[in-house]
Structures are given as C-alpha cells and as structure tokens.
Chains A and B, each alone.
Chain A
Amino acid sequence: MANKRIGKQTVQLENPPSILSAASIVGPKEGEGPLRMYFDMIIDDELWGEKSWEKAESKLMRETIDKLLSKSGISNQSVNYILAGDLLNQISASTFALRDTGISFLGVYGACSTMTESMSLGSFLVDGKFADNVICITSSHFCSAEKQFRYPLELGSQRPPTAQWTVTGSGGVLLSSQGSGPYITHVTTGKIVDMGIKDANNMGAAMAPAAADTLVTHFKDTGIYPDSYDLILTGDLGTLGMEITNELMKQQGYDISDRYNDCGAMIYDVKRQDAHCGGSGCGCSATVFGGFVYQELLKGNLNNVLFIATGALLSPSSSQQGESIPGIAHAVAIHRNLS
C-alpha cells in the first residue's frame, strides 16, 4: 500500500530529507541583477574559457557540483545518485558535465520545471531509504538555449514584450538522510495542463494555469492553508505569468498575492536589464533557490517555503507545427524545522 500518499497528487514524506547544501553559479547578466549577493559565483563571460556555449553550460554544472560537495563536506563516493537535467537536446549539458563524476546518474527532463522534478524524485529516494545523499541539479545557458530554440545571437531582431530571458546559470541542492534541515516535507507532482497558448514568446501565460493547478491541488491534498507559508515561489512565470497566476488563484478562492513571488520576476531588474517579462530556463528557479531561498532559510528569514518550478514542454518542431504549449508545475514544500 502506498501509505505516504495524501490526496490526489501529493506525497507526505515520512523521513523528510534535509537539504544539506545548496549552490549556484550564474552568468554576467544575472550577476548584475538584484540577487547578485546570493550567488556563490558570477562568471565574467558566457564562454567561461570554453570553446562553445554548450561546453560552458556543462562547466557551470560541474563547478556547481564541486561547490555542493565542498560546502556539505560530503565526498564524491558518498553520493548515491545525481538527478540532473537541462534544456539542450538529449540533456547533453548534464551528461557531459557528469561524465567524469563516477556517480550513478538519472537524467530528468521537465523543461524549466526540472529543478523541482529532480528535488521531488531525490526526496523519494532518500525518504524510501534507497539513498543517503542525492544531488539534484539543473542548468541553462542563454546562448545555447537561444541557439536551440530561437534565432542566432547576432541576428538583429526584436523580442516581443512578453518574451523572457533564459538565465545563464546552474543551481543545485544536496539532499541527505542526515542533517538538521531545511527539510522537504511534501511533494506535489503536477499534471500537464494545456490551455491552448501557442506563442513560444509568451511562456508565462502558457505555464501559469499549470502552476495554479498544482498550487490548488497542493492546498487541497494537504489541507495546508497558503498563509502557513512565508513564501510561495514559482519557477519562471515572469511578471505576466505571475499576474495571471495570482488572478487564477483568486478565482479559485485562494488569495496568495501577499506571499507570492516568482524566480523569473526576481532574478533581473526587468526594466533596467531589458529582460522584458523576466527570466526563464531551468537555471532560473535553480539559482534563485540555491542562492536566495536557501540562504534566507538558513538565516531564519524564511521558515516555510512552497517552491513550484514551472515548465513549458514544447520543442522547436512542435512550435513550428503549430502545436500549443503543454505546461507543467511541480511543488515541493520546504520547512526550516520539523514541527
């Protein structure tokens, strides 16, 4: 019997894993943003001494793993699994980053929802006593993502005002059966929600219904009220997606606006940095969580956080064929102390 399940889509963890360490490395643009003091490292240029953007993205992830290990004092050998994913075809940024680690690897893809997808699965592994230490990590890179999903960088084109800017960066966490928190206590796994948005330059609107769906499901499944959280944080809906989510939530009887924020809206000073609707990409939620949220949890400024990374599950081919964009959102509840 699956006795840890509560409600339709939620798991309440019996042995909540502790987030032993978190780390983040970001690109120059993110390093000029309002969260710059929270990142472990800001690289000077987007190639970071590598020959290609793809290689630079792999290096971002590799170095972030090194930081996770050194911060937690856990050795390479003691890590049982790495759960990682990114936006490149065949999640190649992750696989190339990890080929020399010698740690069991499970690749995950949830577009920009990958961070909470990997944290969800990592929590299951630790909670189920299949692992003691699990690394959950993702990355994205503005240049490699533009190359794969949009136009060449040097093409002189304009972006529409609803567009978002892919974050260059990698963020991750090390989950452990040991440690003294913060703990992951609940996991609500999202289902695919597609409201028919076809514009790949308006991903916030495409993903917002999925975020609202997972949020409402989480509250219903657990019976927890939104005001038990200090912060409800979605992944990369951007300023427009955030507004829509707020409104969709209100329609369903949940007013979360006083404690709700979005990583995409936080990572850039949207006006000054010409980021239109804000940041996006796997690295967006990963670096904001690995930097800002984790440090504020440790300081005690945040105690209970609901973290919902959001993904737009499109491919360049599906867009060109006129398909709408399926959205997804996975939530993990994080508490500083177990009550």
Chain B
Amino acid sequence: MQKMYTKQEYLKYVEEKSPKSKVLRNVTRAFVIGGLICIVGQFISNLIISKGVKPEDAAGLTSLIMIFFGAFFTGLNVYDELGRFAGAGSIVPITGFANSIVSPAMEYKREGFVVGVGARMFIIAGPVIVYGISASVFAGILYFLLK
C-alpha cells in the first residue's frame, strides 16, 4: 500500500515538480557581467600598451592584474555576492579562477598554513589545473607529430 510510486516514477515526478533555474535571466546576467569583466581587462591591456609595453608582454601583465583583482575582491567578501548574481559570468574569467583558489585558502586558514591553507587551496582549482596541463601536453604531442 505504501510507496505508490516506483523509484523511476518518483524521480520523474520530482524532476517535473522541481522549480527550474531561470535560464534566460541567468544567461543574460552572465553575459553582461562576464562582458564587463572582460572590458575592464581590455581597458587595462590598452593602458599598459599605451605606456609602451609590448603587446605580447601586456597580455601576461593584464592577467596578473585581473588575478589580483579577483583575489582582492574575494578577500573583501564581495566576489561571492557577484558570483551569486552573475553565475558563470564571474566564474569563467580569470578573476573567477583566482576566487576559486583564494576562497578555500580563507576557509581553511583556521586549520593552519600547512594542512589548512596549503593543502586545501587547490580543492576547486586543482582539477582545472590537472586537466588543463594534461590537455596542453596532449595537444603539444599532437602538434609535434603532425608538424
């Protein structure tokens, strides 16, 4: 008598019943905020180049400055609010990468600098780095073979 639904039926029912993410709103916000972050980056890049830095050096320097901003605003407890609003718009740019490293470092500070900050810092960014490096090694080998 109890359990009127089978597991499959229940999963389907819950799926239909659950409120859905507002995709259009989220995508729009992500586009606008992500775009704004990129405009800031471009502005910094142009500024550096106008001061006489070579464009190829300016790219690295711009990334560094943007990473600093990401880390800085994480430390000020602002970046999580931005992320709640913008979603992927603030996760995808390099500032989001900085946020993913600084936030666990802050969280685990109380467990000390070795097993806390040091060990936990890359719990979110770690997989990105591992698979990013693996993919670039793989691409490099392909490039070498095909050249």
Contacts and interface: CB of A to CB of B under 8 A. Distances in A.
Contacts, number: 101
Interface stretch (B42-50, B53-61, B104-112, B137-145): B104-112
A51 B102 CA distance: 19
Interface string A196-214: 1100001001000100110
Q: Which of B1, B11, B77, B90 counts the most chain A CB atoms within 10 A? A: B11
Interface residues of B, number: 41
Interface string B110-125: 1000000000000010
A74 interface: no
A157 interface: yes
Interface stretch (A99-107, A158-166, A301-309): A158-166
Interface in A7-29: none
Interface in B60-98: 74, 77, 79-84, 86-87, 90-91, 96
A151 interface: yes
A153 B2 CA distance: 40
Contacts of A162: 18-19
Contact of B103 (A52, A154, A159): A154
A230 interface: no
Interface stretch (A61-69, A244-252, A292-300): A244-252
A154 B80 contact: yes
Interface of B: 1-5, 7-8, 10-11, 13-14, 17-22, 26, 74, 77, 79-84, 86-87, 90-91, 96, 99-100, 102-104, 106-108, 110, 124
Q: Which 5 A-B pairs have the closest CB atoms?
A: A156-B83, A154-B103, A152-B107, A152-B103, A161-B19
Interface of A: 51-52, 147, 151-162, 193, 195-197, 202, 205, 209, 212-213, 216-217, 240, 243-244, 248, 251-252, 277
